[in-house]
Amino acid sequence: MSEPDTAPRFLADAMLGRLARWLRVLGYDTFYDPAGDDKELVALSDAEHRVLLTRDRHLVHFLRPRHPLLITAEKPLVQLREVIGACRLSPPAELFTRCLLCNQPLRAATAEEAATLVPETARGLPGQVRRCPHCRHIYWYGSHTRRMRETLLRELPDWLR
């Protein structure tokens, strides 16, 4: 079981963008750059000790990354189950702690940011407003977040509570 300090870090290749997003929802550090070529991805995953997530058997066989995980499923949530099982991931303490766009850890938004950047119709919703310190994207617990949470609970009922 992985604790937050020892949780694996991931690098997803161009075929696994939706998987990368789900891993970020769960709070796992997941690098994703669809423009990177295979040799660059392997070098980066090796240098940063990241598990290289790929569906490309050729990449694994010929480029021999140090920590590959060959994903066999086509559907992102089934892929997510593969990663959880293979890496023995523990359920996160909370969801939505990383930016879904750039992978940075989110910080609590200031009262001023929440008041000016969250749509007026969403300002009274429960839950913390967060902001990415890198790309400045703002997150709040709206309908999209609720649907993602419900999807995870439905797809991973024995893993998430």
Given pLDDT bands bounded at 50, 70 and 90, which one contains residue 47?
Answer: very high
- For residues 114-121, average pLDDT: 82
pLDDT greater than 70 at residue 5: no
Amino acid identity for residue 146 in this structure: R
**For helices 76-87 and 143-155, what crossing angle results, to 10°?**
60
Q: Write down the pLDDT at residue 123.
A: 78
Strand, helix or coil at 54?
Answer: strand
Counting Cβ atoms within 10 Å, is residue 22 exposed (0-12), middle (13-18) or buried (19+)? buried
pLDDT greater than 50 at residue 18: yes
pLDDT tens-digit map of 62-85: 999 999 999 999 999 999 999 999
Q: Write down the pLDDT at residue 3.
A: 46
pTM of the model: 0.91
In angstroms, rounded to a whole number, what is the distance separating the alpha carbons of residues 108 and 118?
Answer: 13
Report the share of the chain in percent with pLDDT over 90: 75
